[in-house]
Structure 1
Amino acid sequence: MERLPPLNAIKAFEVAARAGSFTLAATELGVSSAAVSQQVRNLETWFGKQLFVRSGNRIALTDAGHAIYPQTARALGDIAAIGRRMLEGGLRTRLVVSVPFSLAELWLAPRLAVLLDAFPQMAIDVRVEDDPVDVVRQNIDLRISYGDYHYPALRMVRLVHDDVLPVCAPDFWQRYGDGASSLAEVHESLFIHTNWGPNYASHPTWADWFTASGGNRSPDPSHGRRVGLSSLAIASARLGLGIALGQRVMARADLEAGRLIALSSVSVRLGQPYCAFMPSAKAERADIAELVALLSKTAPLAWEPRAPQDRI
């Protein structure tokens, strides 16, 4: 059998690298920070490589530390999964899915309904939370995130690279839009703006959409309606509160049912794709593989743009 590095030292290294601090790692492990530091030194001696740069109470991974961290995190996650599976007697009774707020109702929930047709006895735990989350420690089976960079130690599958297009309720357009020959003539107060929050800068705005359409208008968010979630922008448009830049995957059901109409076929792509992350040991599980397949499906929408169509 090949020589294995000391497992306690591997655990101390993984927690310290994830926490960015020997002190925080000590708190998680229930030992002293000196004990964590000693375990890391033991591992550095075993590898013959320095894994952290130490500067007072601060630590940072070296190139060697970055090289081994993803594999150590995956390996410890796999070991934890084996332990849970054995303790559960080989029977899995619950699927734990973690998802951002905007995706939970309009995108994830309909696909979970399809999944339950295939696995009717499955118990599902949906956790709605922002990145980052500790997938391994919280025993999360599948994390859905905006962007492909959050969890380098986990298996990743790109699900969909969504886009946005202008949508509103049919009655709203009849009341407020019929007199306009283009979206460029719509009053600024009728636009719905989505505020993604301080952590995001790659989401398209109304100014981006007008540029993509060949125009140069830039509606002022302070003169319109502003919401804090993409799903809330679509709900607001459905309720006749204005015209939203609706995400295609979230607006699909409303568009196909006629609760929303698309005012143009011009769309703008989001800056990042939506991705699924999971521990490697869970990636081949039937329920998880089925859900990932459902989330990856992006069949064309059965709709046609309504007036004013592609005129800006």
Structure 2
Amino acid sequence: MSRLPPLNAVKAFEVAARMGAFALAATELGVSAAAVSQQVRNLEDYLGKQLFVRTGNRITLTDAGLAIYPQTARALNDIAAMTVRILEGEMRMRLVVSVPMSLAETWLAPRLAELLHLFPQLAIDIRVEDDPVDVVRQDIDLRISYGGYHYPTLAAIPLVHDEVLPVCAPDFWYKHGNNEFDLAQIHESLFIHTNWGPNYASHPTWSDWFEQSGTSTHPDPSRGRRVGLSSLAITSARLGLGVALGQRVMARADLEAGRLIALSSMSLRLGHPYCAFVSGAKSDRADIKRLVALLSDNAESH
């Protein structure tokens, strides 16, 4: 076996780096802060590198610490995940997928149905939660997220760089629309606006869409219908509540079935792609590789 560093020291280093303080790491490990500090020093002596810059009660990773932390975290998480499966008697195949609420029903669920045709005995655990989540500590096999920046220690696999386009129910347009499909003539109270929340600044708005189309129209969100989820914007449009600037991946099934119509071919891309995050040891699992393929741009285009 290749040479291994002292594992207790490695664990102390990983927790201290993740928590940003020896005292917080000590609480998680159930030891004293001095014990954590000593274990880290043991690892530094073993490697011949300084891993932290210590400033009072605060610690910051050095360049050497930054270089080894991602692999250290992945290795410990893989060991922890294996231990949990053995202790719980769950060595049979089980897929844990973590996904934001807006993607769970309209995008992920249909792909899982396709996946189960190939893996009919697969146990699936779907966790609907906002970013960030602790992929490793929670033993998550696949995390789907908007953008690649929430999980810097994990490799981001781009899935779909989605776009938005104006959609509504056919009956709604029959009552409120016009033969020219001119959205500038629609009263601003009939527009559905998605409130993306304070954490997102890269999502296009109705004003962005009209500006791109060369029109000076700027529908006032306070005078229209506002929803807090992109998937709810699609549902609202399908129910005839207005015209939504809907995401294509979420609206695709309704568009193909005729429950929604696209009012223009002009679309705007989101600021970032949706990405999948998988810890290193799980990336070769057949069920995970297949689900990533089903969620990818190539699969979406078929």
For 1:190, the equivalent position in structure 2 comes to 190
Structure 1 residues 104-153: Cα deviation after superposition (integer angstroms, max 9, x where no partner): 00000111111111111111110000111111111111111111122222
Task: State the Cα distance separating 1:20 from its structure 2 match.
Answer: 2.0
Q: Answer yes or no: is 1:159 the counterpart of 2:159.
A: yes
Aligned in 2, Cα 1:255/1:66: closer, same or farther, shift over 3 Å?
same
Aligned in 2, Cα 1:113/1:181: closer, same or farther, shift over 3 Å?
closer
Q: Which amino acid aligns with 2:200?
A: Y
Deviates more, 1:205-214 or 1:102-111: 205-214
Alpha-carbon contact 2:74-2:136 (below 8 Å) kept: no
Aligned in 2, Cα 1:62/1:218: closer, same or farther, shift over 3 Å?
farther
Aligned in 2, Cα 1:212/1:241: closer, same or farther, shift over 3 Å?
same
Aligned in 2, Cα 1:157/1:181: closer, same or farther, shift over 3 Å?
closer
For 1:112, the equivalent position in structure 2 comes to 112
Q: Answer yes or no: is 1:51 the counterpart of 2:51.
A: yes
* SS across alignment from 2:98: strand
Once residues 77 and 155 of structure 2 are traced to their aligned partners in structure 1, the CA distance between those partners, rounded to angstroms, is 11
* SS across alignment from 2:143: strand
For 1:3, the equivalent position in structure 2 comes to 3
Q: Answer yes or no: is 1:32 the counterpart of 2:22.
A: no
For 2:273, the equivalent position in structure 1 comes to 273
Alpha-carbon contact 1:81-1:281 (below 8 Å) kept: no
Q: Which amino acid aligns with 2:261?
A: I
Alpha-carbon contact 1:157-1:275 (below 8 Å) kept: yes
Alpha-carbon contact 2:293-2:299 (below 8 Å) kept: no
Q: Which amino acid aligns with 2:237?
A: A
Once residues 223 and 168 of structure 1 are traced to their aligned partners in structure 2, the CA distance between those partners, rounded to angstroms, is 18
Equivalence map 1:25-104=2 (5 Å): 25-84=25-84, 86-87=86-87, 91-104=91-104
Once residues 199 and 92 of structure 1 are traced to their aligned partners in structure 2, the CA distance between those partners, rounded to angstroms, is 38
Unaligned runs of 5+ in 1: 302-312
Alpha-carbon contact 1:9-1:39 (below 8 Å) kept: yes
Aligned in 2, Cα 1:215/1:272: closer, same or farther, shift over 3 Å?
same
- The two structures have a TM-score, normalised by structure 1, of 0.90
Task: State the Cα distance separating 1:180 from its structure 2 match.
Answer: 6.9
Deviates more, 1:204-213 or 1:225-234: 204-213
Task: State the Cα distance separating 1:210 from its structure 2 match.
Answer: 1.4
Structure 1 residues 243-290: Cα deviation after superposition (integer angstroms, max 9, x where no partner): 111101010000000111000011110111111111111111111111
Q: Which amino acid aligns with 2:108?
A: L
Alpha-carbon contact 1:21-1:59 (below 8 Å) kept: yes
Q: Which amino acid aligns with 1:140?
A: I
Once residues 205 and 52 of structure 1 are traced to their aligned partners in structure 2, the CA distance between those partners, rounded to angstroms, is 44
Once residues 10 and 147 of structure 1 are traced to their aligned partners in structure 2, the CA distance between those partners, rounded to angstroms, is 30
Supply the RMSD in Å over aligned alpha carbons: 1.9
Equivalence map 1:5-20=2 (5 Å): 5-20=5-20
Alpha-carbon contact 2:181-2:263 (below 8 Å) kept: no
* SS across alignment from 1:250: helix
Task: State the Cα distance separating 1:240 from its structure 2 match.
Answer: 0.8
Once residues 2 and 91 of structure 2 are traced to their aligned partners in structure 1, the CA distance between those partners, rounded to angstroms, is 32
What is the percentage of aligned positions where both structures have the same residue?
Answer: 77
Once residues 285 and 216 of structure 1 are traced to their aligned partners in structure 2, the CA distance between those partners, rounded to angstroms, is 51
For 1:304, the equivalent position in structure 2 comes to none
For 2:229, the equivalent position in structure 1 comes to 229
Alpha-carbon contact 1:202-1:270 (below 8 Å) kept: yes
* SS across alignment from 2:134: coil
For 1:309, the equivalent position in structure 2 comes to none
Q: Answer yes or no: is 1:242 the counterpart of 2:266.
A: no
- The two structures have a TM-score, normalised by structure 2, of 0.93
Structure 1 residues 69-107: Cα deviation after superposition (integer angstroms, max 9, x where no partner): 111112222323443455567832421110001000000
Equivalence map 1:198-237=2 (5 Å): 198-237=198-237
Q: Give the length in aligned residue pairs.
A: 301
Q: Which amino acid aligns with 1:27?
A: T
For 1:284, the equivalent position in structure 2 comes to 284
Alpha-carbon contact 1:180-1:186 (below 8 Å) kept: no
Q: Which amino acid aligns with 1:6?
A: P
Equivalence map 1:110-189=2 (5 Å): 110-178=110-178, 182-189=182-189
Once residues 190 and 286 of structure 2 are traced to their aligned partners in structure 1, the CA distance between those partners, rounded to angstroms, is 46
Q: Which amino acid aligns with 2:166?
A: P
Once residues 36 and 216 of structure 2 are traced to their aligned partners in structure 1, the CA distance between those partners, rounded to angstroms, is 57
Q: Answer yes or no: is 1:251 the counterpart of 2:251.
A: yes
Aligned in 2, Cα 1:225/1:122: closer, same or farther, shift over 3 Å?
same
Task: State the Cα distance separating 1:199 from its structure 2 match.
Answer: 1.2
